[in-house]
Structure 1
């Protein structure tokens, strides 16, 4: 029997990307609501309760509303919004965090898909805290470069208009309040005592992300070199399929943020010297940073090889 899947928010950027990844799979039956009834509460409720797996690709309030409509106790939910990422009763959907996290996802009925910037930050920061290299009270700073698809349909339309001005041809620094919506999950999932100082940057390319933290090695436990930090991260992720730590300083004088666009892979690059280190997570903001991660979580929840449909 095929697994019934419903995407609530099927016409948004994330929803369309999920559909692209699973639409042709023979092990799944995709439930498709009529376009004219997407906002009909009763029709949505019917689909939400008929599925085995529901993807929520909605604004936060819409995601909370959708969850409240689900009465069937067998329905399992993967929420791509920010609404439940730090909520009690929800499992954070970053399986590479630890073997225990992957098991928790497999057994969960409510999984919160990570934010794109948060995925990059957690992938490079959480292991350093968990291994005791990065003190919990370290004053972490982070910047993250993303393609404009991360802003959804409105931003995509703005960047792709034919008569746009020259302003959009240059990087745009935003989130200047330093209270970006991903910061709560970034702090919680890394175990930091204080929120990181986080600054996102959007640029004139469609998709791809590079998230970087900068470290003063003298403030780390046992003052490791950048090369030693790289080796420890390689040990941490050595058994993972989608996350790979490249050899120290491997042949890149420049990191291009769209290098892994179109994949579900995440590469970690470590550069620096004895006194200072930069660690960068390189991935696709629509892949491992959103829709690809959601499909990976679904595969885990269904007891499948988590690479199905993502190679």
Structure 2
């Protein structure tokens, strides 16, 4: 049986490079490579897209929509890493752990939208609680998400790694202050909430790693679970998941470093607090489970491979 042919459209970007790094040594796929001089050649891209069994789109939103329009067959499957299709009809949202049977759901999908990094952290904590009817759909959620600067792409990476960068880049910077961040539509839609969360991201002077934190007043949750009980609920939900785990509950104060899982493709939830209040913090690599690692996980399921093949656990 021939190996599936895979093409990364936009391989030169941060996400594309990380996907290529995870696939380059794989012997169970054939990786199609575009000539560097032709990476913006529409004809050559179209040829490779239609030759491939599966295409990763690591492109700006408009270019991703254009690339889908280049498909002239009923066979080529797509994983889009852009924001363009995350709430679009006909696209499956690529967060395997939120499905009862991810191998079936993603295995049968032709078009898969890879989640945003901030959305991944938010949904890992919120979506299970909504689905289990512990978190009311009308609950006014608040969330902040700390990320390394690699999440901003090549331009931001160049700013932070410049020898003459401004003093402001040495400290955390809150952004998205209009409260209209581009991940909000998927955060609301996929979680099942009636309203989007009040959400602010923060970027800091380190390369990669994320800490996304969601806040709860326990008395408004069904059953009024304590923080410890909330941790056990999430631990049960993610039991036997190879890429998402829940840390044991502790009453001791702790520092949760955002870059703890940098270099891995997994995510860990930490539930903290007491009887009346709780926070759930998701820590993961914004380039791993937050982007390229998640994309490869989705590819594995779509092509019938072991879900964790080629990933760093």
TM-score bracket, shorter-length normalisation? over 0.9
Would you say how many aligned residue pairs link Structure 1 and Structure 2? 311
Output the CA distance in 2 between the equivalents of 1:103 and 1:280: 29
Superposed displacement of residue 250, structure 1:
7.6
How far off is 1:98 after superposition?
A: 2.1
Alignment map for 1:74-153 (pairs within 5 Å) = 74-153=75-154
- Alpha-carbon distance between aligned partners in 1 of 2:232 and 2:34, rounded to the nearest angstrom: 49
User: Quick one: distance in 1 between partners of 2:252 and 2:47?
Assistant: 53
Q: Distance in 1 between matches of 2:51 and 2:97?
A: 30
Q: What CA RMSD, in Å, does the superposition of the two structures yield over aligned residues? A: 1.0
Equivalent residue, structure 2, for 1:297:
298
Find the residue that maps to 2:306 and give its secondary structure.
coil
Deviations 1:30-71 (A, max 9, x none): 111111111111111001100011000000000000000011
Q: Please state how far the C-alpha of 1:108 moved relative to its aligned partner.
A: 0.4
Residues 243-252 or 291-300, more deviating = 243-252
Aligned position for 2:180 = 179
The whole-number CA distance in structure 1 between the counterparts of 2:251 and 2:273 is 12
After superposition, what is the alpha-carbon deviation per residue over 1:161-204, rounded to whole angstroms, capped at 9, x for unaligned? 01112110000100011010000000011100011111000000
Residue pairs, 1:68-79, within 5 angstroms: 68-79=69-80
3-state SS, counterpart of residue 99 of structure 1: coil
**Aligned residue for 1:232?**
233
Which residue of structure 2 lines up, in the alignment, with residue 242 of structure 1? 243
CA contact (8 A) 1:159 1:204 kept: yes
Q: Which runs of 5+ in 2 are unaligned?
A: none
Give the Cα–Cα distance (whole angstroms) in 1 for the partners of residues 49 and 228 of structure 2. Answer: 49
Q: What is the match of residue 256 of structure 1?
A: 257
Q: Contact conserved, 1:211 with 1:281, CA < 8 A, in 2?
A: yes
**SS across alignment from 2:69:** helix
In the other structure, the counterpart of 2:165 is 164
Report the Cα distance in structure 2 between the residues aligned to 1:172 and 1:165, rounded to whole angstroms: 13
Contact map agreement 1:266 1:281 (CA 8 A) in 2: yes
How far did residue 292 of structure 1 move?
0.2
Deviations 1:146-170 (CA, angstroms, capped at 9, x unpaired): 0000000000000000111211000
Q: SS of the residue aligned with 2:236?
A: helix
Instruction: Identify if the C-alpha distance between structure 1 residues 248 and 9 changes in structure 2 by more than 3 Å, giving closer, same or farther.
Output: same
- SS of 1:202's partner is strand
Structure 1 Cα separation of the partners of residues 232 and 29 of structure 2? 40
Query: Taking structure 1 as the reference length, what is the TM-score of the superposition?
Result: 0.98
Secondary structure of the equivalent of 1:234?
helix
| Alignment correspondent of 1:270 | 271
The structure 1 segments of at least 4 consecutive aligned residues displaced by more than 6 Å after TM superposition are none
Alignment CA distance shift 1:46-1:254 (3 Å): same
C-alpha separation in 1, matches of 2:162 and 2:90: 42
SS of the residue aligned with 2:179? coil
Kept in 2, the 8 Å contact 1:246–1:269? The answer is yes
User: In structure 2, what is the Cα distance between the partners aligned to 1:107 and 1:250?
Assistant: 43
- Give how far 1:132 is off: 1.3
| TM-score, scaled to structure 2 | 0.98
Q: Deviations over 1:226-285 (max 9, x none)?
A: 011111001100021100011112866100000000101100000000000000011000
Aligned to 1:7: 8
Q: Secondary structure at the match of 2:138?
A: coil
Gaps of 5+ in 1: none
Could you tell me how far apart the structure 2 residues matched to 1:99 and 1:253 are? 33
Q: CA deviation at 1:103?
A: 2.1
Contact kept, 8 Å, 2:13 with 2:153, in 1: the verdict is: yes
